């Protein structure tokens, strides 16, 4: 076949591919304008397309609302099929003075993985129904005219926790509690400052890291919900857990659908399982002792003695496991313990709904072990 014949044969195909590519930039521009049309004015620098990589990019977006609030986006990129993108990313996001966000907010990069549309819908109801496989943020900062209020290195969300399968990770969230408290109503600031001093040891700066994951594991005759996670407040405490819940579902049912319909508790039968909770002191509990003793007008030694007596009283009413937990917390305040671990073995052949209906009876049903280290 000659080059001329080959080119002639490929011409219709190239035109067919080019037509959607030329149409998609127009769709992106129209959809972006529609997103902001009711709230203000949007300006777009330029929109370009990369056919080989199947990518559309809108650059230099600038939005002003009716009250003078502003939004800048350096780049808005849609990758893959416009009607079913593989990824939508926004870079260089800056917000200032928008309704509901009076402070200045900046996000270096925001990515939606496999969203069900290239541009969010303009109405709130449709926006709430928008779906995506994952979301990630990089380098978020919130500031007031007085200075930084909060920073976060990264946030990642995947899956769907409503269906029991997902992961949320927060990395390096730092809060300037002093400046945030100054923004609160005047009548609430004293209590907030006291709480801040206890959490941050008086520094006024709180750092948080967290990671929570859950997934369903399925076998022939049962399913198992597996979940683990932690919350780490630097210089305060660390809480972690891991959970394994085997259960039997109605024939033909799948756990994600039951959770989404909020009927899992009514239909599932628990087949045992285990739960472990761990609380580690990283400086919070001795500070809490000082504050609580001061509020009660007694010495720390007197407060500890009273707390131990109260723990024994609750133990007489609710059982030795509850007493063990309360005693462990008291020993952490006293500085004689650093970690409290509670391990729970769950009952077999138990409807989840009946367990949730009577939480006060749970200590008698569960096999609970408390360890203080």
DSSP state of 6: H
Q: Quick one: pLDDT band at residue 139, thresholds 50, 70, 90?
A: very high
pLDDT value of position 269 = 86
pLDDT value of position 4 = 31
Specify the 3-state DSSP secondary structure of 286.
helix
Are the CB atoms for 372 and 340 separated by under 8 Å?
yes
Per-residue pLDDT tens over the stretch 312-367? 999 898 889 889 999 999 999 999 999 999 999 988 877 666 666 666 666 667 78
Q: Which residues pair with 234 in a beta bridge?
A: none
Are the CB atoms for 302 and 343 separated by under 8 Å?
no
Per-residue pLDDT tens over the stretch 205-252? 999 999 999 999 887 778 999 999 999 999 999 999 999 999 988 888
Token readout for 231 is: 């919350």
Average pLDDT over residues 62-68: 93
Only one residue has tokens 């009716």, namely 66
pLDDT value of position 356 = 63
pLDDT value of position 145 = 86
- C-alpha 246/C-alpha 226 separation (Å) is 9
Percent of the chain with pLDDT over 90: 67
pTM for the full model? 0.87
């Amino acid at each position: 076949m000659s080059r001329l014949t080959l080119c002639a044969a490929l011409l219709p195909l190239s035109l067919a591919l080019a037509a959607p590519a030329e149409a998609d930039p127009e769709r992106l521009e129209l959809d972006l304008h529609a997103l902001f049309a009711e709230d203000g004015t949007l300006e777009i620098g330029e929109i370009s397309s990369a056919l080989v990589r199947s990518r559309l990019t809108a650059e230099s977006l600038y939005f002003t609302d009716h009250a003078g609030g502003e939004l800048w986006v350096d780049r808005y990129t849609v990758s893959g099929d416009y009607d079913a993108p593989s990824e939508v990313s926004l870079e260089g996001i800056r917000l200032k003075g928008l309704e509901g966000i009076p402070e200045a907010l900046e996000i270096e990069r925001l990515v939606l993985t496999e969203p069900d549309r290239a541009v969010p819908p303009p109405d709130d109801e449709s926006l709430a129904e928008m779906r995506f496989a994952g979301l990630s943020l990089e380098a978020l900062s919130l500031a007031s005219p007085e200075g930084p209020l909060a920073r976060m290195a990264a946030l990642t969300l995947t899956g769907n926790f409503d269906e029991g399968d997902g992961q949320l990770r927060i990395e390096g969230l730092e809060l300037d509690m002093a400046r945030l408290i100054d923004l609160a109503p005047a009548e609430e600031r004293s209590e907030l400052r006291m709480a801040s001093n206890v959490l941050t040891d008086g520094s006024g700066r709180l750092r948080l890291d967290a990671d929570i994951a859950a997934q369903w594991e399925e076998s022939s005759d049962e399913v198992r919900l597996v979940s683990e996670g932690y919350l780490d407040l630097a210089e305060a405490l660390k809480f972690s857990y891991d959970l394994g819940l085997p259960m039997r579902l109605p024939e033909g049912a799948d756990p994600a659908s039951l959770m989404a319909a909020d009927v899992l508790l009514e239909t599932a039968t628990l087949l045992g399982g285990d739960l472990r909770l761990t609380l580690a002191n990283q400086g919070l509990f001795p500070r809490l002792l000082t504050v609580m003793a001061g509020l009660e007008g007694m010495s720390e030694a007197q407060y500890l003695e009273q707390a131990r007596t109260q723990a024994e009283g609750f133990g007489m009413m609710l059982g030795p496991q509850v007493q063990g937990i309360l005693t462990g917390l008291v020993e952490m305040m006293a500085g004689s313990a650093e970690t409290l671990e509670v391990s729970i073995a769950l009952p077999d052949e138990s409807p989840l709904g009946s367990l949730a209906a009577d939480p006060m009876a749970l200590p008698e049903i569960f096999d609970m072990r408390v360890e203080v280290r």
